[in-house]
Amino acid sequence: MPLTRLTLPALALALPALLSPAAAQDRGSVNPKPLPPLANPNDPSTPAKALFGRVTGPASGPARPFGSYAKGCFSGGEALPLDGATWQVMRPSRNRMWGTPHLVDFIERLAARAPQAGWPGLLVGDMSQPRGGPMLTGHASHQLGLDVDVWLTPMPDHRMTRAEREETSATDMVRSDRLDIDPDVWTRQHTALIRMTAKQPEVARIFVNAAIKKALCREAGGDRGWLTKVRPMYGHNYHYHIRLACPAGDGACDDQAPPALRRRLRLRTRLLVQRGGAEPAQAQNPAEAPPADDARRPARRLPGGAARAVEVAYFSWCPAESRSVSAISRPDTTNTMWMPTSQDRSRSL
């Protein structure tokens, strides 16, 4: 959602939908009803999500992703088996346990390593639809068969029933004021699992709630390089979102640039806060002058308090120093107000 015309009334309406437990973890159905057929599926005005959302099986052909994470699809998809020794698939009625063989293999290998982090096994949430593409509900990304949500709830010591998989809610890891993790449910094993995931070479990014990123930075110790891959994003308080890089040499897959460097992030922070009404930030030297692409972007008028929220979100992206996330705990801020545009997603997340 762009910030350009975001008003306070609109923000008040949008935030409950984004942050409520129901919106974050919709229940599935033991007996799901199939979607009704489209009256005219060949009509050019039919939304792509209506077509992709009705597909029940993979596209034939070699396994290949096409396009970008938020505008793409894939062929030769595979379904992750519902059960493994160290994973179980949640919400199978959604039929979102599909991905490229690259993703399926990664999940199985990560699950096998999870006990090394003190984690009994993975509860696997949404991956992709059988052919990827946009979804009728939920995600903007997850379209290439290279994204997966892993619940922050450890796998139980028994094979869950179908009803349990559809109706059990994941655990909210963030405190009610949204400024930090809930110490009653967050453990060192959560940090160990996310650290292990981020260190896998296939992983391009991990998305978590800003409060979780704050906890990870606090608990990382001296080994901090992996934190660069961990990006704060609104929601993501029940699960962490793993995004794999495009397969090497696959020109049809639109990969993201590596996570931005700290100086670039600080510069973008100053620019956005300036647009929100704060005092203009002066570049220290010509090397810090705004890049041409930022200079051409129109100014954004932010609602009251949102300039500070943007500053919090962007500074929390700088994991190399503990002060980079200290602003999240300020009482006059909220880490849930920043909503990126599609341009921000493609460039910075």
pLDDT digits (tens, 9 = 90+) for 4-19: 443 434 433 344 334 3
Q: Using CB atoms within 10 A of its CB, is residue 177 exposed (0-12), middle (13-18) or buried (19+)? A: exposed
3-state helix, strand, coil in the chain (%, to 5): 35, 15, 50
Helices assigned H by DSSP within the chain: 8-19, 21-24, 48-52, 101-113, 162-167, 188-198, 210-219, 262-275, 292-296, 306-315, 342-348
**Mean pLDDT of the residues in the chain:** 77
How far is Cα 152 from Cα 240, in angstroms, rounded to an integer?
A: 7
Q: At residue 81, does pLDDT exceed 60?
A: yes
What average pLDDT does this structure show over 49-71?
A: 94
In this prediction, residue 106 carries a pLDDT of: 98
Proportion of the chain above pLDDT 90, given as a percent: 58
- What residues contact residue 333 under an 8 Å CB cut-off, 6+ apart? 305, 308, 309, 311, 312, 327
pLDDT (tens digit, 9 = 90+) per residue, 99-144? 999 999 999 999 999 999 999 999 999 999 999 999 998 889 999 9
Q: Which of 293, 282, 274, 288 is nearest to 347 (CA)?
A: 293
Closest Cα partner for 324 from 244, 241, 256, 231?
231
- DSSP labels, 309-337: HHHHHHHTT-TTSGGGGGGGG-TT--TT-
Overall average pLDDT of the 262-269 stretch: 49
Instruction: Average the pLDDT over each of 23-37, 115-129, 207-221 and give the range with the smallest value.
Output: 23-37
* Res 128: pLDDT: 97
Please check the confidence at residue 349 and state whether its pLDDT lies above 80.
no
Higher pLDDT, 345 or 42: 42
Q: Domain 57-244 maps to which CATH number in 3.40.50.300, 3.40.50.360, 3.55.10.10, 3.30.1380.10?
A: 3.30.1380.10
Q: Which residue has the higher pLDDT, 152 or 334?
A: 152
pLDDT digits (tens, 9 = 90+) for 143-159: 999 999 999 999 999 99
CA distances from 4 to 256, 267, 286 (A): 24, 20, 28
Q: pLDDT for 220-255, tens place per residue?
A: 999 999 999 999 998 999 999 999 999 998 999 999
pLDDT value at residue 34:
84
User: pTM score > 0.75 for this model?
Assistant: no
Q: How crowded is the C-beta side of 37, counted as CA atoms within 13 Å?
A: 4
Q: Which two tokens stand for residue 253?
A: 């897959």
pLDDT at 271 over 80: no
Q: In the prediction, which pLDDT does 39 show?
A: 87
pLDDT score of 42 more than 70:
yes
- Whether 185 has a pLDDT exceeding 90, the answer reads yes
Cα 195 to the center of its chain, rounded Å: 16
Identify the weakest region by mean pLDDT among 166-180, 183-197, 272-286, 324-338: 324-338
Question: Is pLDDT at 310 greater than 50 in this prediction?
Answer: no
DSSP secondary structure code for residue 231 in this structure? E
d(CA 139, CA 242): 13
Q: Which of 46-50, 159-163, 282-286 has the lowest mean pLDDT?
A: 282-286
* Residues 56-81, mean pLDDT to the nearest whole number: 96
With bands split at pLDDT 50, 70 and 90, how would you rate the model's confidence at 25?
low
**If you write DSSP's letter for every residue of 257-305 in order, what string do you get?**
PPPPPHHHHHHHHHHHHHHTTSPPPPPSSGGGSPPHHHHHSPP-PPPTT
- Domain locations along the chain: 57-244, 262-348
CA gap 199, 229 in Å, rounded: 9
Paired with 232 in beta bridges are: 208
Mean pLDDT, rounded, for 155-181: 96
Res 57: pLDDT: 93
Closest CA to 145 of 74, 56, 89, 92: 74
Check: CB of residue 206 under 8 Å from CB of residue 232: no
Q: What is the mean pLDDT of residues 197-205?
A: 97
